[in-house]
Amino acid sequence: MRSIALAALFNAASITNALYFSISSLTANDIFQPVESHNITFTVSDPTAVFEQGGSGAADCAVAWMACDIPSCWKKCSANAYYTRITSETYKGADNFSLDIWQEFVYELANHNNATISITEEGAYTCTRDERSTVCMLENMQSVNRTLQTYYGGASPPGAIC
Protein backbone atom coordinates (compact mmCIF):
# COMPACT_ATOMS: atom_id res chain seq x y z
CA MET A 1 0.00 0.00 0.00
CA ARG A 2 1.30 3.44 -0.93
CA SER A 3 2.20 5.75 1.88
CA ILE A 4 -0.61 8.18 2.33
CA ALA A 5 0.73 11.73 2.21
CA LEU A 6 -2.62 13.19 3.16
CA ALA A 7 -2.97 10.99 6.24
CA ALA A 8 -1.32 13.62 8.40
CA LEU A 9 -3.65 16.19 6.95
CA PHE A 10 -6.87 14.23 7.58
CA ASN A 11 -6.33 14.39 11.32
CA ALA A 12 -8.98 16.78 12.56
CA ALA A 13 -9.45 14.62 15.63
CA SER A 14 -5.87 15.20 16.74
CA ILE A 15 -6.05 18.94 16.06
CA THR A 16 -8.99 19.69 18.34
CA ASN A 17 -6.99 21.90 20.69
CA ALA A 18 -5.12 23.79 17.97
CA LEU A 19 -6.17 26.25 15.32
CA TYR A 20 -6.19 24.78 11.84
CA PHE A 21 -7.18 25.57 8.28
CA SER A 22 -9.79 23.24 6.82
CA ILE A 23 -9.80 22.88 3.02
CA SER A 24 -12.96 21.54 1.40
CA SER A 25 -14.48 21.39 -2.09
CA LEU A 26 -10.94 21.12 -3.49
CA THR A 27 -10.80 20.69 -7.27
CA ALA A 28 -7.71 20.97 -9.49
CA ASN A 29 -7.75 20.82 -13.31
CA ASP A 30 -4.97 20.51 -15.85
CA ILE A 31 -6.37 21.07 -19.34
CA PHE A 32 -4.00 20.06 -22.17
CA GLN A 33 -6.19 20.52 -25.27
CA PRO A 34 -7.13 22.69 -27.08
CA VAL A 35 -5.11 25.20 -25.00
CA GLU A 36 -3.07 24.39 -21.89
CA SER A 37 -4.60 25.87 -18.74
CA HIS A 38 -4.76 25.06 -15.05
CA ASN A 39 -7.03 25.99 -12.16
CA ILE A 40 -7.46 25.13 -8.51
CA THR A 41 -10.53 26.00 -6.45
CA PHE A 42 -11.32 25.29 -2.81
CA THR A 43 -13.04 26.62 0.29
CA VAL A 44 -10.95 27.44 3.36
CA SER A 45 -11.96 28.11 6.95
CA ASP A 46 -10.50 28.05 10.44
CA PRO A 47 -13.38 26.18 12.16
CA THR A 48 -12.22 26.50 15.76
CA ALA A 49 -11.11 30.15 15.68
CA VAL A 50 -12.94 32.82 17.61
CA PHE A 51 -13.01 36.46 16.47
CA GLU A 52 -9.79 37.29 18.35
CA GLN A 53 -8.01 34.50 16.41
CA GLY A 54 -9.21 35.54 12.95
CA GLY A 55 -12.70 34.05 13.03
CA SER A 56 -14.21 30.83 11.73
CA GLY A 57 -15.86 32.11 8.54
CA ALA A 58 -15.17 30.40 5.21
CA ALA A 59 -13.84 31.83 1.94
CA ASP A 60 -13.77 30.50 -1.62
CA CYS A 61 -10.34 30.59 -3.26
CA ALA A 62 -9.18 30.14 -6.85
CA VAL A 63 -5.84 30.17 -8.65
CA ALA A 64 -5.74 29.89 -12.45
CA TRP A 65 -3.09 30.25 -15.15
CA MET A 66 -2.34 29.51 -18.78
CA ALA A 67 0.46 27.25 -20.08
CA CYS A 68 3.29 26.92 -17.57
CA ASP A 69 3.20 30.48 -16.17
CA ILE A 70 2.36 29.55 -12.58
CA PRO A 71 1.62 32.77 -10.68
CA SER A 72 3.86 33.47 -7.69
CA CYS A 73 1.65 36.26 -6.36
CA TRP A 74 -1.00 35.94 -3.65
CA LYS A 75 -4.63 35.68 -4.83
CA LYS A 76 -7.27 37.19 -2.54
CA CYS A 77 -10.05 34.76 -1.70
CA SER A 78 -13.73 35.73 -1.52
CA ALA A 79 -13.94 36.72 2.16
CA ASN A 80 -12.48 36.79 5.64
CA ALA A 81 -9.11 38.19 4.58
CA TYR A 82 -7.79 34.91 3.14
CA TYR A 83 -5.10 34.77 0.44
CA THR A 84 -3.60 31.78 -1.38
CA ARG A 85 -0.88 30.90 -3.88
CA ILE A 86 0.88 27.84 -5.24
CA THR A 87 3.95 27.22 -3.09
CA SER A 88 7.03 28.11 -5.13
CA GLU A 89 8.35 25.27 -7.32
CA THR A 90 5.89 22.64 -6.04
CA TYR A 91 3.41 22.32 -8.91
CA LYS A 92 3.94 18.96 -10.65
CA GLY A 93 0.32 18.73 -11.79
CA ALA A 94 -3.24 18.66 -10.45
CA ASP A 95 -2.25 15.49 -8.59
CA ASN A 96 0.80 16.91 -6.78
CA PHE A 97 1.27 20.48 -5.48
CA SER A 98 1.33 22.61 -2.34
CA LEU A 99 -0.78 25.63 -1.38
CA ASP A 100 0.24 28.53 0.83
CA ILE A 101 -2.68 29.99 2.78
CA TRP A 102 -2.59 33.31 4.64
CA GLN A 103 -5.33 34.79 6.83
CA GLU A 104 -4.94 38.33 8.08
CA PHE A 105 -6.75 39.64 11.12
CA VAL A 106 -6.56 42.54 13.53
CA TYR A 107 -7.06 42.07 17.24
CA GLU A 108 -5.28 44.88 19.05
CA LEU A 109 -2.41 44.49 16.54
CA ALA A 110 -2.17 43.36 12.93
CA ASN A 111 -1.67 39.59 12.95
CA HIS A 112 -1.87 36.66 10.57
CA ASN A 113 -2.31 32.89 10.45
CA ASN A 114 -0.58 30.87 7.77
CA ALA A 115 0.14 27.30 6.67
CA THR A 116 1.40 25.33 3.68
CA ILE A 117 -0.69 22.34 2.65
CA SER A 118 0.70 19.56 0.45
CA ILE A 119 -1.78 17.86 -1.87
CA THR A 120 -1.13 14.50 -3.58
CA GLU A 121 -3.37 11.94 -5.23
CA GLU A 122 -4.07 9.68 -2.30
CA GLY A 123 -6.83 8.97 0.15
CA ALA A 124 -9.98 10.93 -0.63
CA TYR A 125 -8.17 13.15 -3.19
CA THR A 126 -8.59 11.27 -6.46
CA CYS A 127 -7.97 12.06 -10.13
CA THR A 128 -9.38 11.09 -13.51
CA ARG A 129 -7.28 11.41 -16.64
CA ASP A 130 -7.71 11.33 -20.38
CA GLU A 131 -5.73 12.73 -23.31
CA ARG A 132 -7.25 16.20 -22.85
CA SER A 133 -7.16 16.74 -19.09
CA THR A 134 -6.49 15.67 -15.53
CA VAL A 135 -9.23 16.48 -13.02
CA CYS A 136 -8.65 15.89 -9.30
CA MET A 137 -10.98 16.48 -6.35
CA LEU A 138 -11.75 15.64 -2.76
CA GLU A 139 -14.53 13.07 -2.66
CA ASN A 140 -17.46 12.49 -0.33
CA MET A 141 -17.47 15.90 1.37
CA GLN A 142 -13.99 15.27 2.81
CA SER A 143 -11.69 18.02 4.02
CA VAL A 144 -7.96 18.45 4.40
CA ASN A 145 -6.92 19.94 7.73
CA ARG A 146 -3.60 21.55 8.54
CA THR A 147 -2.45 23.08 11.81
CA LEU A 148 -1.64 26.74 11.29
CA GLN A 149 0.87 29.11 12.79
CA THR A 150 -0.11 32.50 14.20
CA TYR A 151 2.27 35.43 13.85
CA TYR A 152 1.92 38.77 15.57
CA GLY A 153 2.64 41.72 13.34
CA GLY A 154 2.33 41.92 9.58
CA ALA A 155 -1.22 41.88 8.30
CA SER A 156 -0.35 41.60 4.59
CA PRO A 157 1.19 38.57 2.89
CA PRO A 158 4.83 38.94 1.85
CA GLY A 159 5.31 39.56 -1.85
CA ALA A 160 2.99 40.69 -4.61
CA ILE A 161 -0.79 40.42 -4.47
CA CYS A 162 -2.41 39.60 -7.84
Fold adopted by 7-152: AOC barrel-like (2.40.350)
**Which letter, b or e, does each residue of 30-40 get, where b requires 16 or more Cβ atoms within 10 Å of its Cβ?**
bbeeeeeebeb
Give the span between the Cα atoms of 5 and 102, in whole angstroms.
22
> In this model, does residue 103 exceed pLDDT 60?
yes
pLDDT tens digits for range 33-51:
999 999 999 999 999 888 8
Give the span between the Cα atoms of 46 and 48, in whole angstroms.
6
Q: Which of 1-5, 78-82, 148-152, 156-160 has the lowest mean pLDDT?
A: 1-5
| Domain boundary assignment for the chain | 7-152
Give the span between the Cα atoms of 40 and 29, in whole angstroms.
6
What is the model's pLDDT at position 155?
Answer: 64
Asked if residue 49 lies in contact with residue 147, where contact means CB atoms within 8 angstroms, the answer is no
pTM for this entry? 0.82
Element (H, E) at 114: strand 109-120
Compute how many other C-beta atoms are within 10 angstroms of the C-beta atom of residue 140: 5
Comparing CA positions, the residue from 121, 70, 65, 63 lying closest to residue 91 is: 70
Region 44-59: mean pLDDT is 87
Give the span between the Cα atoms of 85 and 47, in whole angstroms.
21
